[in-house]
Structure formats: C-alpha cells, structure tokens
C-alpha cells in the first residue's frame, strides 16, 4: 500500500511574492469521482497525464495510487467526464532539505496560495519556510476536490 502523508498550509502572499522562485508548472485537474471515502482524479501536467486514486483522509494520511496515462487520454477525460476543473501553477521549492509544493490557483480560485509538504511519517519533523501561514491540513474546504466544486470566489457569496 502507498500512503500519502501531507501537511497543507496557507501561504503568506506578501512574503511569497517577494521570494525568489523557480519557473512554475501549469496543472489542470478534475475529478471523475469525489466521495468522502474515495477520489479518482485526472491531471494534466505539462505533456504528461495522470490518473490518481485516493482513499479517505485521516489527519494527514491517506492511501494514494498514481498512474501515468497518455496526455491525450487525460485531456479527453477532463473534457468529457469532469464537471469542474481546477487550474494552478505549481512551484517546487526545496527548503531545509524538504520539498514544498506551492500552488497558485487560477480561475475561480484565483488569489489562493497553498503549500504542501509530503512526509515519510506522521512523526517526521520539518522546518517551515518564512512564507508559511496557517495550517489547513484538516480543513476540507482546501482539498483540491472541494475547490473544484466550491471555489474560493463562492465562499463570500453564501
């Protein structure tokens, strides 16, 4: 079994925007199945396609299986079988020996900046970059699958 142990944080925009960063990668993704117990995601990242299956999240851990698929298939699945997609630019930053993935969301989630760090165990310690804000690991509003259905722009309209 493959487990994903991930912590998610809001990013402090002013500090992030003034930081040096590498070129970002455009990611488009959507969900074929979005259920509290299981998610099936399709993703296009550059010229690659991926199909990902995730189990329920318990604290910061869940089962995850990811498989490469032809990019043309991924694009067709997104167009034909997905109701809501999200787009984001991902920046990969190494800080204190750990990979941080920072997502700058586009479209209906524009303005949202999230950072994730994947760990080998729940007990693993790590240092946070200066642009890391509030932890939102257990807040489902910030799950990508939730952002696809209930984007940031709709939060203040309720």
| Whether 9 is catalytic | no
Determine which one of 31, 65, 142, 143 is catalytic. Answer: 31
DSSP category for residue 108: G
Three-state DSSP at 146 gives helix
- Which pair of structure tokens corresponds to residue 134? 């509030």
Sequence-separated (6 or more) residues with CB below 8 Å from residue 40 = 31, 32, 33, 51, 52, 53
State phi, psi for 145 to the nearest 5 degrees: -65, -35
The set of catalytic residues is 31
């Amino acid at each position: 079994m493959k487990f994903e142990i991930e912590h998610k944080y809001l990013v402090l925009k002013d500090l992030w925007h003034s930081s040096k960063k590498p070129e970002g990668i455009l990611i488009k993704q959507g969900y074929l199945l979005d259920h509290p117990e299981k998610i099936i995601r399709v993703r296009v990242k550059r010229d690659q396609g991926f199909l990902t299956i995730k189990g329920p999240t318990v604290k910061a851990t869940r089962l995850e299986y990811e498989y490469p698929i032809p990019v043309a298939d991924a694009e067709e699945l997104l167009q034909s079988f997905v109701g809501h997609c999200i787009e984001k630019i991902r920046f990969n930053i190494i800080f204190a020996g750990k990979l941080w993935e920072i997502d700058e969301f586009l479209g209906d989630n524009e303005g949202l900046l999230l950072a994730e760090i994947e760990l080998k165990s729940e007990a693993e310690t790590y240092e946070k970059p200066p642009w890391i804000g509030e932890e939102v690991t257990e807040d489902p509003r910030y799950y990508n699958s939730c952002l696809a259905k209930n984007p940031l722009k709709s939060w203040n309209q309720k």
